[in-house]
Structure 1
Amino acid sequence: MGAATLYIFSGLPGSGKSTLAQGLSTEFNCAYLRIDTIEQAMRDLCNFKVEGEGYRLAYRIASDNLKCGVSVVSDSCNPIELTRTEWQKVAISAGARFINIEVICSDKAEHKKRVEKRTSTVAGLKLPKWEQVEQREYHAWKANRIVVDTAGKTEKTSIQELISSISKWNKQI
């Protein structure tokens, strides 16, 4: 059996990131860690403003799973270089592989429509408005990654494209 893999998702809200992350987790039978769920639980249970604590907790949970040989899908906006690097360090320190996956929606009108029409699947989570998505800090990527553009595609097509890209990625290493 090969080493566990950490699938590190990133992308703006409404890009299709959680849909693809959940699909991949199901397809590959991975543990699934969603930052929105972790952070909302911390708000609800601890009654404090969550900043970086959700990510730091998720890093620890991911590490535990990876060390047990369980692959992990991390689902978060992962907008800045710092968090991207930290996820990679988690995999390396656990002796696991990692694959960075950026999900985008290149059609601005479609992206806006998704953001405006979606409903939260995390109890109590307040979703961002389109203006907040547009203004969100999101650093350009420097590291190698798989990019999946969900614009004009069905969920099934996007998941199939992602799985195919992972297969090609694995053949390169």
Structure 2
Amino acid sequence: MLYIFGGLPATGKTELARFLSSMFGAVHIRVDTIEQTLKNSGVSDLYDEGYKVAYALALENLKNGIPVIADSTNPVAASREAWLNVARTAESSYIEIEVICSDQKIHRERVEKRLSDIPNLILPSWESVTSRKYQQWQSACIVLDTSGKTPEQSKQELNRLIVAHNEKKDGSL
């Protein structure tokens, strides 16, 4: 199974991705980590190289029967379609999960107060987050709003939504 996360920075994606990774014994592939490692190695002009590495790692693990959690902003339809192509190539099931924070005040506070857990990663400012290109996600199977929830509540809700999604999918076969 490929779990495809997406959403603006500081919505809770990585916290939820780590939770699922632990819960399912899945590989957690985080594009931020890949991109910062490339930068730390001297690659200065990144476009989609981090995503390309992530797609390759995900495909390899899925082909080996290992579930994968894809953790990235995933801001445009092209990157989302590329993840779907990874799942199709691996002949794997997938779930698209968009994480949002609908309360702008809470979201801004998260952006401004969070700390990086990746060495040398410079986190985006609120202005950067709100001005970035983020296309509406039409195909997300699950949309989880973390606004007003503790991380634990969001994890419990994600678990319930995945179970409900899988039950619905199994019932429609």
Q: Which TM-score applies when normalising by structure 2?
A: 0.96
Distance 1:131 1:144 in 2: 26
Counterpart of 2:148 in structure 1: which amino acid? G
For the 8 Å contact 2:98–2:140, the answer to whether it is kept is no
In the alignment of these two chains, the number of paired residues is 169
Distance 1:144 1:39 in 2: 24
Match of 1:139 among 131, 135, 139: 135
* More off after superposition, 19-28 vs 69-78: 19-28
Alignment root-mean-square deviation, CA: 0.8
**Residue equivalent to 1:124:** 120
Distance 2:106 2:27 in 1: 30
Superimposed CA distance per residue, residues 37-79 of structure 1 (whole angstroms, 9 cap, x where no aligned partner):
0000001113322110000010000000000000000000000
Counterpart of 1:100 in structure 2: which amino acid? E
2:68 is the counterpart of 1:72: yes
Identity %, equivalent residues = 46
Name structure 1 gaps, 5 residues minimum.
none
Superimposed CA distance per residue, residues 57-109 of structure 1 (whole angstroms, 9 cap, x where no aligned partner):
10000000000000000000000000000001101100101100000001100
Distance 1:164 1:114 in 2: 24
Counterpart of 2:127 in structure 1: which amino acid? E
- Alignment partner of 1:56: what SS? helix
Distance 2:81 2:43 in 1: 29
Distance 1:35 1:6 in 2: 15
Distance 2:155 2:20 in 1: 7
**Residue equivalent to 2:14:** 18
Distance 2:62 2:129 in 1: 31
Superimposed CA distance per residue, residues 1-32 of structure 1 (whole angstroms, 9 cap, x where no aligned partner):
xxxx0000000001111111111111111000
User: Deviation above 4 Å: which 4+ runs of structure 1?
Assistant: none
Distance 1:73 1:115 in 2: 23
Distance 2:84 2:43 in 1: 30
